Structure 1
Amino acid sequence: MIGNLDLKTSGDPVADRRYSYGEMFRSAGDLSAAADLFLQTAALVPAWAPAWVALGDVESERGDSKAALDAWRRALAADPADRVGVELRLARAGLAPVPDLPPEGWVRALFDDYAPGFDRALVERLGYATPGTIRALLDEVAPGRALPRVLDLGCGTGLTGEALRLRAGWLEGVDLAPGMLAQARAKGVFDALSEGEAVRFLDAGSEPFDLIVAGDMAPYLGALDALFASTARRLGLRGIFALSVETGADTASPPGWRLRPTLRYAHSEGYLRALAASAGLSILALKPAPLRRDAGAWVEGLVGLFERPRPLSADPIVPPAMARVRRARGA
């Protein structure tokens, strides 16, 4: 069965009320009442995935893995694009392998839902510090570096773009979520905006950039191998890749990244260093930094600047006059 495409409402006012009551009881800690209300909602609108996913979440919290798995499977059947993040929930509960990348449909839906109040929530309530931290580190490490062409991956509403605008000649942004792009477009910060997935966008072009930024995008990726490789290909000589990641002790062992209970990914410093070396990038800076608050505590992370160095040539450039002399001598 293919479900209701609107994730905000089931289209049935009675079902929507029961769903809202279920969320209230869940917030109050009454998981039994919440489960009953979510089950009633799902019975009224069986093709609406959020009802099933909420039921699965509550059953998981109650410790009933079998009931959670059944509810999440019904959610995925209702929404094969997995805009409700069933794959990640299954992995978090230990019922499926952790995916290298989250479902694109989930990321797009998540940020489209966030878009209208994104700036206020992130900056005013959560103290979002990543754009300013990236700009400060860039000013510290490369204060006089010309940045004629800058690309903001996962640009969102343009918070990082705003921080970098005065240093960028041409500023381009790309994001999966059209709702976020609409907010960014209204600010007038960018010279160009595109809708799309970051790695595919990088691979589709060839023109180099002087700075490519991925601020707060890595927590929604998992494996970063393709991102590093594709970014390195699009950097000009001495081009810089700026990246922020969340960190945690659970990332120390291979593969160097983990899915957290928040459904975001965290990455280790060693993993970033290995990826930089594999992509042929040198490390200009890699520093711990608080990224934002979550549940009253700061989310700890790393902010890094990686540079594409000038190529080393075994045959150094010879001035034309010297080249003629060498030819005359048979060198």
Structure 2
Amino acid sequence: MTKAFFSSGDVIADRRADYARMLDEQGDSAAAAELMEQALEMAPDWAAGWDLVGSFHEKAGNVSSAIAAWRRLEALDDAGVFGARLKLAVHDAGPAGEGTAVGYVEALFDQYAPQFEEALIGKLGYRVPDLLDGLVAEEMARLELSGFERALDLGCGTGLMGERLRAKVGHLEGVDISAAMIAETARKGLYDSLHKAELVATLNARRADLDLVTAADVLIYCGALQPVLSALLPAMRPGGLVAFSLEAHEGEEALFLRPSLRYAHGVQATRDALVVAGLEVLRFETAVLRFDRGAPITGILVVARKPVVELSAANDGAEDGNVAA
């Protein structure tokens, strides 16, 4: 987090924290935690310090001490910038909460923005925008669509998805929770409009004016799909498409929170959520999305369509009393 490098206000505590980071980088996380505890005796209300000592304890295998540190952090960090609640939830020490951890995600990507593309594409082999764009293009050809009048790119980031959408869309909007990400993508001139906002709130403010919605590597921070899908459908025109990615797992749980603080969604549970929401599933595929510490991250790629004729509308218009099938 950006705040992780803010001074404690005590020169000696800051110096010990610097030494602790060096020890951690050298692989001695237990010694780093011990030194960081000494720093916190001098600056007991230093939220970033409690975040650091928690991470050092976790790396050293001392989970109980990590949990104690994150509980203290949670009490100090009202905005949730350091994601203490999520870190506790990973270790079954508390609930993750509903929806996106806005303070944490915003701070994460504000910090990440300047090096986002270099890290994600150059180092992690990120493929989601290309994969989603390929599926959308194939469905456009199958459905004989020449383009989209109005599209919304949720979690637009630095515009990696927007670069691929631009030629297909008349009016392209981007929304992101991070002001720094918005600033980065604004320099590219890809989007007709850009907004800093949370995605469910953005969708709830729309009414049936979108014929394409994309969310590349975004819903992995949102938790349960149902609130997102419930907000999505009213924002889309009949026949409109949505394309998004998720991290996948093969278990029975609908979702679980990974140590990366990203959510993984169950494959079957995701299929079921789409059907329950009333979407027509056009494409549902699994693929390697990127690599994390050298390990492949498998995900779900979805392209779905809002029905051209909604069931309730068809039923309302039936004069003979028959229910539309």
Structure 1-normalised TM-score?
0.88
Distance in 2 of aligned mates of 1:41 and 1:231: 47
Following superposition, the deviation at residue 51 of structure 1 comes to 1.0
Match of 1:135 among 108, 133, 158: 133
Match of 2:7 among 10, 14, 20: 10
> What is the correspondence of 1:1-331 to structure 2 with a 5 Å cutoff?
6-10=3-7, 12=9, 14-143=12-141, 144-145=144-145, 146-249=147-250, 252-254=251-253, 256-311=254-309, 313=314
Instruction: Give the letter for the 2:197 counterpart.
Output: G
Following superposition, the deviation at residue 296 of structure 1 comes to 1.1
Deviates more, 1:74-83 or 1:233-242: 74-83
Distance in 2 of aligned mates of 1:270 and 1:188: 39
* Residues 195 and 170 of structure 1: CA distance in aligned 2, closer, same or farther (over 3 Å): same
* Residues 69 and 261 of structure 1: CA distance in aligned 2, closer, same or farther (over 3 Å): closer
Aligned to 2:322: none
Distance in 2 of aligned mates of 1:185 and 1:42: 40
CA deviation profile, 1:231-281 (whole Å, cap 9, x unmatched): 1111111101111001123xx213x11111211110122122112112211
Aligned to 1:328: none
* Residues 9 and 142 of structure 1: CA distance in aligned 2, closer, same or farther (over 3 Å): same
Distance in 1 of aligned mates of 2:63 and 2:290: 32
* Residues 187 and 40 of structure 1: CA distance in aligned 2, closer, same or farther (over 3 Å): farther
Distance in 1 of aligned mates of 2:245 and 2:18: 35
Q: CA RMSD in A?
A: 2.1
Instruction: Give the letter for the 2:181 counterpart.
Output: M
Q: Between the two proteins, what is the percent identity of the paired residues?
A: 37
Instruction: Give the letter for the 2:182 counterpart.
Output: L
Aligned to 2:323: none
Distance in 1 of aligned mates of 2:293 and 2:67: 27
In structure 2, the residue corresponding to 1:142 is in which secondary structure?
helix
Work out whether residues 220 and 265 of structure 1, in 8 Å CA contact, stay in contact via their aligned partners in 2: yes
Distance in 2 of aligned mates of 1:35 and 1:315: 65
Work out whether residues 243 and 303 of structure 1, in 8 Å CA contact, stay in contact via their aligned partners in 2: yes
Work out whether residues 243 and 305 of structure 1, in 8 Å CA contact, stay in contact via their aligned partners in 2: yes
* Residues 17 and 162 of structure 1: CA distance in aligned 2, closer, same or farther (over 3 Å): farther
Instruction: Give the letter for the 2:306 counterpart.
Output: R
Larger Rg: 1
Q: Which runs of 5+ in 2 are unaligned?
A: 320-325
Deviates more, 1:38-47 or 1:182-191: 38-47
CA deviation profile, 1:121-144 (whole Å, cap 9, x unmatched): 111111110001111011112224
In structure 2, the residue corresponding to 1:77 is in which secondary structure?
helix
Distance in 2 of aligned mates of 1:290 and 1:64: 32
Deviates more, 1:173-182 or 1:10-19: 10-19
Distance in 2 of aligned mates of 1:216 and 1:16: 35
